[in-house]
Amino acid sequence: MAKELTQNEAKGYFGEFGGSFVPPELQTVLERLDEAFQTYQKDPAFMEEYNYYLKEYVGRENPLTFAERWTKALGGAKIYLKREDLNHTGAHKINNVIGQILLAKKMGAHRIIAETGAGQHGVATATACAMMDMECVIYMGTEDIRRQELNVFRMELLGAKVVSVDKGNGRLKDAVDEALNDLVENYETTFYLLGSAVGPHPYPKMVHYFQSVISEESKRQILEKEGKLPDAVVACVGGGSNAIGAFSAYLKDEDVRLIGAEPAEAATLTEGVPAVLHGFKCLCLQDEDGNPAPTNSIAAGLDYPGVGPEHSALKLSGRAEYETVTKAEVLDAFQELSRTEGIIPALESAHALALVKKLAPTMTEDQIILVNLSGRGDKDVAEVKRLLEE
């Protein structure tokens, strides 16, 4: 994507990570976006509207459920589940989508573009566009369209136009490039809605802001239920949006351990090296030639060779810890939560659960683990059936 690189040192860095490595014409568009975000973030009417839709459309606040049977089964720390799976569309992604769409409206855009790999961000975006009466164009690699037929149909039902990208490998990266080209051409009417805590500045900070509702709620809820903060907060990490939302309100509470779970097959924070990817600097998995390495996670939402710049910085500073879990551990946790709690988790979320399964027994009964259940697993049952039969 980057032809001439410009680097904005002043803004958008988390330690050495983040920034904005994009062509000059895109830099101008991003600066305009940052200004608008800074303005509306402080505007009480904007935040009132955002909170209105979170309540009336998304269904917040969602519960913090005590996982009583699972806690007993594991024997150790008390486990609480933050129920992002109960949001409209079944995951945390909608929190950010609502925030960015409202910002787009304020900026005078009537057309939303987004890219999607597995289709989950595309579906959340198409959903909110239908409700807000915005034109919606979703860029998707040809290969991903083939693999995600049902999500493509969902997006079309919701009134979105799905554009097939057959450049490159026909995957997420190629869809990102096409979406960015569209944005540079049509920035006066068009808003690029990014789905995770990645990308050039100001996206990581914006997504952090719109997802922080997760931990603002959970902190209030745990104090109400237990009268103290949790000992650990656990979340899965793909690009890092549900994790940063789950960690945000606890960042300054040094006694609360913040732990991210990533797939052994896409262990960006564990094995990555600093590099520039998709317009920002982060820890990144590379092959021998320095290109982004292919990843192979069973959870589509975690299958990305990069990760948000803020997580990259939290890893280096040691404020957050990141651990890998294996495919077998994930499948085991997926089934165990279903059986003990009657909740089928998303495969992504099952990565966090797999880590909790190892962590809880090492802790005492008066300690608390809060795990972010980022999404529900209905979308994954066919895949899990296939994997278990293998």
The answer to whether 183 and 192 have CB atoms below 8 angstroms apart is yes
Alpha-carbon span 218 to 335, nearest angstrom: 25
Known active-site residue 93:
yes
Known active-site residue 358:
no
Q: Which of 122, 279, 301, 309 binds ligand PLP (CB under 6 A)?
A: 301
Q: Does 241 interact with ligand PLP (rule: CB under 6 A)?
A: yes
Alpha-carbon span 369 to 80, nearest angstrom: 6
Task: State the nearest-atom distance from the C-beta of 28 to ligand PLP, in Å.
Answer: 27
Alpha-carbon span 348 to 21, nearest angstrom: 29
The answer to whether 369 and 231 have CB atoms below 8 angstroms apart is yes
Name the active-site residue from 20, 82, 84, 115: 115
The answer to whether 371 and 234 have CB atoms below 8 angstroms apart is yes
Q: Does 380 interact with ligand PLP (rule: CB under 6 A)?
A: no
Closer residue to ligand PLP (CB): 129 or 363: 129
Binding region for ligand PLP (CB under 6 A) out of 69-77, 155-163, 172-180, 236-244: 236-244
Task: State the nearest-atom distance from the C-beta of 164 to ligand PLP, in Å.
Answer: 21
DSSP run (H or E) holding 105? helix 93-106
Task: State the nearest-atom distance from the C-beta of 304 to ligand PLP, in Å.
Answer: 8
Q: In what order do the strands lie in the sheet with 273-277?
A: 13-14, 17-18, 280-284, 273-277
Known active-site residue 248:
no
Q: Which of 236, 261, 283, 356 binds ligand PLP (CB under 6 A)?
A: 236
Q: Does 170 interact with ligand PLP (rule: CB under 6 A)?
A: no
Query: Which CA distances in Å does 60 have to 123, 195, 217, 220, 232?
Result: 19, 19, 9, 14, 23
Q: Which of 87, 100, 221, 374 binds ligand PLP (CB under 6 A)?
A: 374
Number of residues that bind ligand PLP (CB under 6 A): 20
Name the active-site residue from 78, 82, 93, 281: 93
Alpha-carbon span 312 to 77, nearest angstrom: 28
Q: Does 212 interact with ligand PLP (rule: CB under 6 A)?
A: no
Q: Does 99 interact with ligand PLP (rule: CB under 6 A)?
A: no
Q: Does 240 interact with ligand PLP (rule: CB under 6 A)?
A: yes
Give the start-end residues of each E strand in the chain: 6-7, 13-14, 17-18, 21-22, 64-66, 78-83, 111-115, 135-141, 161-165, 190-192, 232-236, 257-263, 273-277, 280-284, 320-325, 368-373
Q: Which of 54, 64, 91, 123 binds ligand PLP (CB under 6 A)?
A: 91
Binding region for ligand PLP (CB under 6 A) out of 63-71, 136-144, 342-350, 359-367: 342-350
Q: Does 272 interact with ligand PLP (rule: CB under 6 A)?
A: no
Q: Does 242 interact with ligand PLP (rule: CB under 6 A)?
A: yes
The answer to whether 370 and 232 have CB atoms below 8 angstroms apart is yes
**Distance of alpha carbon 279 from the chain centroid:** 18
Q: Does 348 interact with ligand PLP (rule: CB under 6 A)?
A: yes
Alpha-carbon span 5 to 225, nearest angstrom: 51
DSSP state, 345? B
Name the active-site residue from 205, 341, 374, 379: 374
Q: Does 237 interact with ligand PLP (rule: CB under 6 A)?
A: yes
Residues that bind ligand PLP (CB under 6 A): 91, 93, 120, 196-197, 236-243, 301-302, 346, 348-349, 374-375
Residue numbers annotated as active site: 93, 115, 374
